[in-house]
């Protein structure tokens, strides 16, 4: 069987979709970004084959697999024709073994050109994990909650600056309120896969902007080798007046379900204290978002300021949360501190 090494497989023909022939539960746990689930066996069938292999023999397991595979061959070809009208596909399983080989045989019989991943998804995972240890030039953007750091990152990206948006990849904004209004988070494995795919598009030597994050972002964590680099990289912090931050957050969270806001307050009730929690919940009930935000900020401001105590910081003072203005301010501060190269022109978000 012709097999492609991982780089060639990933850069393969754009008209050739990646078909992941592992079981649905394997795909759900983690897959190559952009790959389509094209299971050879269902979860139950895969489990039965594995049991047969362990308790009886490989021969019996293969025969059982053929019993499952045979009746659905026609259906799989028809599905592949819909997914790949150009009749080119990229196929992989876990290790590049029997499952991907069987699908390759079937689709080639049906007239497809099939590109098979050598060593399978297991090789992709080795590659993905290796991305996090690669030394990178990073510029970390910090600031108290409500400073608009994510908005500034988006403005920097629009100005053609390299940006790594960890919260976007994690589908979470990092705080107890971070999941409100967002889709479910990816699994840890999928977060790592998506993160590795983005890192692979960035030049390691060119300074890349990234938001200051804790080890965990909701239910996922930043891979330790990358987090270690974040923690030692140059740090700029936006200093925005408290009232500006309160208004910004009140406007953002005022659009969301009060029950979700109350649930988020209750997540941190031990840290807020009984009285502050009671007052914050009452403020939500009275639709006084600025009061609720102000009470919660007392906790988050203390926590973040404590985390900065042992890190050298370049402070960038602004009286607004306007992301275009602040993007220019942090770029100028980074250039002055020699965090950026002069080949990275200051953009204006246009």
Which numeric CATH code is attached to 3-129?
3.40.250.10
- Helices 58-69, 98-109: inter-axial angle, 10-degree rounding: 40
Q: What are phi and psi of 273, to 5 degrees?
A: 95, 155
> pLDDT per residue over 249-277, tens digit each?
999 888 888 999 999 999 999 988 999 99
Mean per-residue pLDDT, 144-156: 95
Mean pLDDT over each residue of the chain, to the nearest integer: 92
Contact 210, 140 (CB under 8 A): yes
What pTM was computed for the model? Answer: 0.90
pLDDT of residue 93 exceeding 50: yes
- CA separation for the pair 17, 74 (Å, rounded): 19
Residue 349 has pLDDT above 50, yes or no: no
| CA–CA gap between residue 13 and residue 17 (Å, rounded) | 8
Name the DSSP letter for residue 54.
H
| Catalytic (active-site) positions | 93
At 97, list the tokens. 């073994």
- Which residues on neighbouring strands pair with residue 3, listed in sequence order? 116
Say if residue 151 is exposed, middle or buried (CB neighbours under 10 Å; 0-12, 13-18, 19+): middle
Provide CATH code, domain 133-336: 3.40.50
* pLDDT-based confidence at residue 98 (cuts at 50, 70, 90): confident
Domain ranges (residues) in the chain: 3-129, 133-336
């Amino acid at each position: 069987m012709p097999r492609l090494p991982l780089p060639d497989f990933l850069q393969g023909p754009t008209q050739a979709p990646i078909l992941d022939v592992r079981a649905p539960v394997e795909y759900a746990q983690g897959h190559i970004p952009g790959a389509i689930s094209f299971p050879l066996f269902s979860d139950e069938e895969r489990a039965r084959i594995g049991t047969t292999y362990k308790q009886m023999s490989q021969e019996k397991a293969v025969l059982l697999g053929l019993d499952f595979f045979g009746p659905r061959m026609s259906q799989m070809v028809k599905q592949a024709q819909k997914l790949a009208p150009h009749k080119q596909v990229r196929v992989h399983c876990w290790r590049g073994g029997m499952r991907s080989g069987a699908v390759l045989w079937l689709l080639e019989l049906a007239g497809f050109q099939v590109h098979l991943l050598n060593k399978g998804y297991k090789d992709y995972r080795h590659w993905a994990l290796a991305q996090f240890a690669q030394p990178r030039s990073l510029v970390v953007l910090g600031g108290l909650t409500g400073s608009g750091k994510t908005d500034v990152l988006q403005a920097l990206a629009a100005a053609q600056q390299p940006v790594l948006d960890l919260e976007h990849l994690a589908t979470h904004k990092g705080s107890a309120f971070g999941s409100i209004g967002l889709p479910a988070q990816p699994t840890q494995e999928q977060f790592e896969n998506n993160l590795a795919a983005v890192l692979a598009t960035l030049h390691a030597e060119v300074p890349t902007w990234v938001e200051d994050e804790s080890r965990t972002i909701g239910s996922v964590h930043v891979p330790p080798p990358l987090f270690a680099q974040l923690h030692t990289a140059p740090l700029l912090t936006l200093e925005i007046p408290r009232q500006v931050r309160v208004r910004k957050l009140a406007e953002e969270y005022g659009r969301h379900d009060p029950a979700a806001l109350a649930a988020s307050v209750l997540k941190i009730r031990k840290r807020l204290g009984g009285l502050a929690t009671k007052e914050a919940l009452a403020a939500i009930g009275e639709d006084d978002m600025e009061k609720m935000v102000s009470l919660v900020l007392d906790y988050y401001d203390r926590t973040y300021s404590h985390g900065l105590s042992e890190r050298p910081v370049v402070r960038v003072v602004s009286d607004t949360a306007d992301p275009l203005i602040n993007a220019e301010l942090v770029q100028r501060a980074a250039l002055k501190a020699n965090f950026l190269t002069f080949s990275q022109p200051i953009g204006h978000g246009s």
